[in-house]
Amino acid sequence: MAQKVEIVIDGKTVEMPVLEAAEGLNVIDVRGLIKEGMFTFDPGFLSTASCDSRVTYIDGDNGILLYRGYPIEQLAENSSHLEVCYLLLNGELPTQAQLDAFIGDINERMPLDDHFKHIFDGFTENSHPMSMVCAAIAGLASLFHEQLDISDAGYRKEAALQLIAKIPTISAMAYKKSIGEDFVEPDPSLNYAENFLHMCFGKRGEAPNISPTLSKALDKIFILHADHEQNASTSTVRMAGSTECNPFAAIAAGTAALWGPSHGGANEAVLDMLLEIGDVSKIEEYVEKAKDKDDPFKLMGFGHRVYKNFDPRATVMQSSAHAVLEEQGASNDPLLEVAQNLEKIAREQDYFIDRKLYPNIDFYSGITLKAMGIPIPMFTVLFTLGRMPGWITHWTEMVANPFKIARPRQLYLGEHKRDYTNIENR
């Protein structure tokens, strides 16, 4: 029996259908409410489902994250980033033949057009890598605009392959530009994470020399970041894409949204915060600042809109961090000591417990990336690289099915209608 809810508007009982979820919360379908002369009101979308989706499921109370039904812990342990990209895009894990073909498709698309590389000439060496990556992703639209036909499955697949293939190259080139070194071309003999590390830390003309521990840890970090249902940047991709714009432009919009310190920029902000705290003796002072309503300071890497007990990705990331710190001989990194003490103190205080503020993925990813020798300004670029498959999967899911342009309404609190007055009468 289909469920429904009733509300009374001006004495009239209005029925609204309840749509049943495969997992998690059901939804009240309020699409008919406009006919009753009412909007819903939900700034920040705390109680709003913006779409239906089959890609990722999050249970925030129980710390569950599933990509196409597979638990993140199992994928992080057993899979690879490109296999997860295939899973997100196609809905099923690949056979060996399908995976080999997908890897081949990605490898052949990793090199950037020589002329296109000049996009980086427009930036100074101290430009933030995220500004370069944002611009380069939008610039990819110039390379693939003629064929633009979002209704064509072949075009959609090519756009997905191009973005997943080129984001490591673009990201590494942004890094090389920021340190004034020559670009290093992708090497198809390397796997995805190895190739990124080679393009960042290798030297032109030299053979690759990549630590298996670091490349495995980085591949795991990419898996952990691959998707997260309707987060702010993915919702931005969907909203931009709903205008039927070029997919590269929609993804560039999502990249810009990710950059904010409340979202993907938090991993960089965590390290800046730990460096500012500097020593365990100053932790209490900063924890008090975070609790002070009159102080804008927040504990970066803490809290989450959905996870209210723990972020399962942070748990995986924490174990990964220890392996990397061990290999890098950084287990006694003072920043790690500050982080561990900060987490302990925060977890014991009512302010954080009452508000269910726990470390999220960004709290430990920053420490791991720093231990891997990744420069702090590159942290959000790596989040962008990891999240690329999720963004393009959600874009594909939307445009491959009937969709409407996203056009929210508002609660208007402004002036009533009034007549223009000439300046001499004001």
Active site residue 118: no
DSSP element (H, E) containing 345: helix 334-348
Question: With binding defined as CB under 6 A, does residue 236 bind ligand SDX?
Answer: no
Identify which of residues 159 and 299 has a Cβ nearer to ligand SDX in the complex. 299
Question: With binding defined as CB under 6 A, does residue 365 bind ligand SDX?
Answer: no
Question: With binding defined as CB under 6 A, does residue 289 bind ligand SDX?
Answer: no
* CB-CB contact of 234 with 391 (8 Å): yes
Overall size of the chain counted in residues? 426
Cα 75 to Cα 81: distance, rounded to the nearest angstrom = 9
**First-to-last C-alpha distance (Å) of the chain:** 63
Question: With binding defined as CB under 6 A, does residue 300 bind ligand SDX?
Answer: yes
Residue 241 φ then ψ, to 5°? -65, -25
Identify which of residues 136 and 300 has a Cβ nearer to ligand SDX in the complex. 300
Q: Which of 198, 225, 362, 394 is catalytic?
A: 362
Cα 402 to Cα 124: distance, rounded to the nearest angstrom = 43
Q: Of 299, 324, 339, 382, which one interacts with ligand SDX (CB under 6 A)?
A: 299
The residue whose two tokens read 């002369």 is 37
Question: With binding defined as CB under 6 A, does residue 109 bind ligand SDX?
Answer: no
Identify which of residues 350 and 419 has a Cβ nearer to ligand SDX in the complex. 350
User: Which residue number places its CB atom closest to ligand SDX?
Assistant: 303
Identify which of residues 75 and 357 has a Cβ nearer to ligand SDX in the complex. 357
- Stretch 132-151: interaction string toward ligand SDX, x if CB under 6 A: --------------------
Query: At 397, which amino acid appears?
Result: E
Distance of CA 267 to the CA centre of its chain: 11
Q: Of 117, 157, 263, 289, which one interacts with ligand SDX (CB under 6 A)?
A: 263
Q: Of 175, 259, 286, 302, which one interacts with ligand SDX (CB under 6 A)?
A: 302
Q: Dihedral of CA 103/313/50/19: which sign?
A: positive
Residue 44 φ then ψ, to 5°? 80, -5
Q: Which of 29, 263, 322, 333 is catalytic?
A: 263
CB of 180 to ligand SDX, least distance (A): 31
Question: 98: Cβ–Cβ under 8 A, 6 or more apart, which residues?
Answer: 86
- Biggest distance spanned by C-alpha atoms of the chain: 78
CB of 212 to ligand SDX, least distance (A): 27
Residue 9 φ then ψ, to 5°? -115, 120
Q: Dihedral of CA 204/208/214/216: which sign?
A: positive
Question: With binding defined as CB under 6 A, does residue 266 bind ligand SDX?
Answer: yes
CB of 233 to ligand SDX, least distance (A): 6
List the one residue out of 101, 174, 181, 91 whose CA is nearest residue 134: 174
* CB-CB contact of 102 with 94 (8 Å): yes
Question: With binding defined as CB under 6 A, does residue 240 bind ligand SDX?
Answer: no
Cα 93 to Cα 84: distance, rounded to the nearest angstrom = 8
Tokens encoding 156 = 């959609």
Q: Within 205-234, which residues bind ligand SDX (CB under 6 A)? A: 228, 231
Active site residue 263: yes
CB of 168 to ligand SDX, least distance (A): 19
Q: Of 162, 171, 195, 360, which one interacts with ligand SDX (CB under 6 A)?
A: 360
Question: With binding defined as CB under 6 A, does residue 384 bind ligand SDX?
Answer: no
Angle in degrees, 0-180, between the axes of helices 312-327 and 361-371, rounded to the nearest 10 = 20
Q: Within 19-78, which residues bind ligand SDX (CB under 6 A)? A: 44
Active site residue 304: yes
Q: Which of 225, 304, 311, 394 is catalytic?
A: 304
Q: Which stretch binds ligand SDX (CB under 6 A): 120-128, 314-322, 354-362, 406-414?
A: 354-362
Active site residue ranges: 263, 304, 362
Binding region for ligand SDX (CB under 6 A): 44, 228, 231, 262-264, 266, 290, 298-306, 355, 357, 360-362
